[in-house]
Amino acid sequence: MSLLRSGRVAAVLALVCVAAACSTSSKEQSVQSSSTPSAAALDKFYKQTPKWGSCAGFGSADERMPKAAECTHISVPIDYGNPGGATAQIAVSRIKATGQRIGSLMFNPGGPGESGLWMVQQGQDTQLAQRFDRIGFDPRGTGNSTPLIKCLSGKEWDEQRAEAPKENDTAGIAAQETEDKKFAAHCTERTGDDFLAHVGTREVVQDMDIIRGVLGDPKLTYVGYSYGTRLGYSYAEKFPDKVRAMVLDGAVDPEQQPQQESIEQAAGFQKAFDMYVQSCVKKSDCPLGTDPAQATAQFRKLVEPLWDHPAPTKESRQLTYGDAITGVQNTLYASDNWDLLTAGLTQLRNGLGDILLRLADLYDGRSRDGSYDNSQDAFLAIHCVDDPAIKDRAVAAQEDAQYRKVAPFLDDGHATNQAPLEICAFWPVPNTEQPHKLSIPGLPKTVVISTTNDPATPYQAGVDLAQQLGADLITNRGTRHTVFLSGGVPCVDDAVTSYLIDLKEPAAGLTCG
């Protein structure tokens, strides 16, 4: 079973973003540590002068960059072990402070693999917009940064999504692993191993420090969501003396084994599904009926026929089983999307798949013209470079069985006590990090936000991260993935804004929602 990245729901009838972590000794933090270059070797990168200009040509049409935003590219070494070699260009966006400026405030939306330029509009009409230059950026290999991670074309992604699911028998497993090997080969051919080996968290945090330096900030002020929390705590590990303030919302646990994180995430989505059911069954038109005890079975009756018979849509494409599950999961990232899930399931009950297909498209980064952003390619590449792959077939089979057990609404009914190895088992370059417990002496006070019913990054991961960082923990009672500046919880927004501006710590044990 694969991990999910940060969910995306945008306008479809007004439609509306984790990386794996695991645990060993902190001494085993890096499998392939990139040598740290001297300050002199990086001096030219820190001293470059960015040329800010229009954001036209930056970002997608869907991102709707504000008129006040400026964009630029900042040059960084592809390989920090060879700073005199080839370079990458990191796309950066900025909206200047409108009042008494403190410095820059950098945002990252998570993923991994998500473009972050649009994050420049976070905190609009708040004190943050007055006191900080708000900064977004596309991490190396993603969005408008170059070079790009590229594996499949839009046509190839469409073809892959249209394929019938494979059984977990000997032939199906062999076919899936052959497909995964081809995917990895395409990534090598179209991106190049020299760049693929340097697209992980290890390099991105060094890029973040160059951005900080180029912006003229002596220390970093940062807000990271979901996988962006990993970028945050990894930056703090490497540059603890360069942290001014850091907010980590929707935490990834740095100690957790990848297979355990996958299982806990599946359990989180089951919990979110169950909470949706409790809301849905109170309505006479709920497509899952009125008995919550039968809702999972009713859901399975709706989606299982898609395994062999995809549902038609108004497009030339059909809704496959895989796309239906992706579309459903995309709505479970926040309770705000539950009405849309009801609409999609109701439409499916009536034999059509347009809404769920569009939801899957949004998650996969597909535009209506058939083109894709590179977020799916980048997610897989970064995940495989960051974390050790599961290469033990017994472990893969055990994970598959546990996944089905904790998330019955995701159990396709085709269990065989076997499972294919994940794609990272066939990746052309080695992983660069190992999971570990954090220990960062002297780190200034940071803030972790964790939501009780977060489906993608479970609440306990935030508790554990806060303990390791010695951070203040804010608990948000709710059902959503990340919360700060979402527009719905002033208690969280007020406390975090005060921390970012004045470095005032939130009240001990603060609980909101």
Told to judge if 502 belongs to the known catalytic residues of this protein, a careful annotator would answer no
Instruction: Round to whole Å and give the CA distance between 223 and 235.
Output: 12
Among residues 454, 464, 472, 493, the one annotated as catalytic is 454
Whether 275 and 404 have beta carbons less than 8 Å apart is answered as no
**Residue 447: phi, psi to the nearest 5?**
-130, 130
CA distance readout (Å), 469 to 58, 205, 246, 255, 382: 35, 17, 11, 12, 24
Among residues 226, 234, 450, 486, the one annotated as catalytic is 226
Instruction: Round to whole Å and give the CA distance between 224 and 234.
Output: 11
3-state secondary structure of 72: strand
Instruction: Round to whole Å and give the CA distance between 210 and 219.
Output: 11
Instruction: Round to whole Å and give the CA distance between 349 and 319.
Output: 13
Instruction: Round to whole Å and give the CA distance between 224 and 304.
Output: 37
Whether 423 and 181 have beta carbons less than 8 Å apart is answered as no
Told to judge if 226 belongs to the known catalytic residues of this protein, a careful annotator would answer yes
Contacts of 282 (CB under 8 A, 6+ apart): none
Among residues 73, 198, 436, 481, the one annotated as catalytic is 481
**Alpha carbons within 13 A on the beta-carbon side of 161:** 27
Whether 448 and 248 have beta carbons less than 8 Å apart is answered as yes
User: What's the maximum distance between 2 C-alpha atoms anywhere in the chain?
Assistant: 69
* Alpha carbon of residue 20 to chain centroid: 10
Q: Are strands 103-108 and 70-77 parallel, antiparallel or unpaired?
A: unpaired
CA distance readout (Å), 114 to 8, 225, 244, 271: 10, 11, 25, 25
Told to judge if 279 belongs to the known catalytic residues of this protein, a careful annotator would answer no
Q: Are strands 243-249 and 311-312 parallel, antiparallel or unpaired?
A: unpaired
Taken in order 19, 20, 26, 31, is the CA torsion positive or negative? Answer: negative
Nearest to 315 by CA among 7, 10, 12: 12
Using CA atoms of 296, 302, 307, 311 in order, give the dihedral in degrees to the nearest 10: -150
Which residue type, as a one-letter code, is found at position 119? M
Structure tokens at 407: 């998330």
Which of the 8 DSSP states describes residue 78? S
Structure tokens at 242: 């360069």
Catalytic residue numbers read: 226, 454, 481
